[in-house]
């Protein structure tokens, strides 16, 4: 197990390097540049700026310098768009915001999603099942960019209960709507996966045996059925967790949270090369990390799996 983890971590390094080089090439292949504007800068002013950011260097040298600075100094460079700030600043400010609302959304999605899915499976074809399926399909078809303005309309304009956006250090009233809007579709997917997985498990031989032995239903479910049910759910949760904590541009736009999602999208539009790279590496590293966590959880849940 330990050597498996080490091996996976070792593979992560070249994976990230390939990610860096590919992103670099794609970024430069896109037309325009960080300092293009409707009012083109005089050649000399542009030359001064490019020299300042090292953009006058040959392409290969820029990549090498970039990787060197990231690896050796953990310095992702200055932002080209936000002139007085570094990429480290941008991430240090935006990521905790996203992490906070992403984490609560994840928790809500898992607790409610698994609960709904399990309840639906246990009481299959009852009113509870139909209700749960109804809710999850509803949540699935209501994307967060529709959900967000509806929440705003109800809770901010009509009821006046919640502030319509902002962050304010992450006070709870600023968290409620972003968390609801972000978690619903994940919640629906989790409920669906849990339900079908649990139905399958409940119909399997070892559950029938457990029931035949006369175990109470509660014990059958919690002791025997829940763990195997979670296998497909967990493979979904890994990428979902990364998706949630690295930000949703929709949430950031509608609730003005100042999270990292909006910086990521804007950096692509503005050709803010260093911010694009910084956030790409962050998301890439987290994806690799949580895929690894999923694999470890798999082995823990399913004794048949050996690494």
Task: Kindly list the residues in this chain that would bind other proteins in the complex (CB under 8 A).
Answer: 30-33, 35-42, 44-45, 48-49, 51-52, 78, 81-85, 89-90, 93-94, 148-149, 152-153, 156-157, 160, 163-167, 252-254, 256-258, 262-263, 266, 269-271
- Which residues does 81 contact at the CB level (< 8 Å), separation at least 6? 34, 266, 267, 270, 272, 275
For other proteins, the closer of residues 179 and 220 by Cβ is 179
CB of 171: closest distance to other proteins in angstroms?
A: 13
280 strand-pairing partners = none
113 strand-pairing partners = none
CB of 159: closest distance to other proteins in angstroms?
A: 10
The two three-digit tokens of residue 173, written as one number: 């009233």
CB of 175: closest distance to other proteins in angstroms?
A: 14
Cβ count within 10 A of residue 184: 24
CB of 271: closest distance to other proteins in angstroms?
A: 6
For other proteins, the closer of residues 40 and 138 by Cβ is 40
CB of 81: closest distance to other proteins in angstroms?
A: 6
CB of 49: closest distance to other proteins in angstroms?
A: 4
For other proteins, the closer of residues 104 and 264 by Cβ is 264
For other proteins, the closer of residues 84 and 214 by Cβ is 84
In angstroms, rounded to a whole number, what is the distance separating the alpha carbons of residues 164 and 161?
9
For other proteins, the closer of residues 43 and 72 by Cβ is 43
For other proteins, the closer of residues 46 and 226 by Cβ is 46
């Amino acid at each position: 197990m330990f050597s498996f983890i080490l091996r996976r971590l070792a593979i992560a390094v070249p994976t990230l390097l390939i990610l860096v080089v590919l992103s670099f090439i794609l970024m430069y292949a896109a037309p325009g540049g960080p300092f293009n504007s409707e009012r083109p800068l005089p050649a000399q002013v542009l030359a001064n700026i490019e020299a300042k950011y090292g953009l006058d260097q040959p392409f290969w040298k820029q990549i090498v310098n970039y990787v060197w600075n990231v690896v050796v100094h953990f310095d992702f460079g200055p932002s080209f768009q936000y002139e007085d700030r570094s990429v480290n600043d941008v991430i240090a400010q935006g990521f905790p915001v996203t992490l906070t609302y992403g984490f609560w959304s994840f928790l809500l999605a898992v607790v409610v999603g698994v609960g709904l899915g399990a309840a639906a499976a246990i009481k299959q074809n009852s009113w509870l099942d139909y209700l749960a399926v109804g809710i999850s399909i509803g949540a699935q078809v209501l994307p967060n960019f529709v959900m967000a303005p509806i929440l705003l309309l109800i809770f901010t304009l009509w009821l006046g209960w919640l502030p319509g956006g902002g962050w304010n250090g992450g006070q709870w009233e600023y968290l409620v709507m972003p968390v609801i809007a972000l978690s619903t579709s994940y919640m629906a997917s989790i409920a669906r996966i849990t339900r079908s997985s649990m139905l399958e498990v409940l119909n399997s031989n070892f559950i029938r045996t457990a029931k035949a032995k006369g175990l109470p239903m509660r014990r059958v479910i919690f002791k025997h059925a829940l763990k195997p049910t979670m296998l497909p759910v967990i493979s979904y949760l890994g990428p979902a967790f990364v998706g949630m904590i690295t930000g949703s541009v929709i949430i950031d736009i509608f609730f003005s949270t100042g999270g990292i999602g909006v910086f990521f999208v804007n950096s692509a539009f503005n050709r803010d090369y260093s911010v694009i790279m910084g956030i790409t590496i962050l998301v890439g590293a987290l994806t690799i990390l949580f895929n690894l966590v999923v694999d470890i959880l798999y082995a823990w849940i399913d004794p048949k799996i050996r690494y």
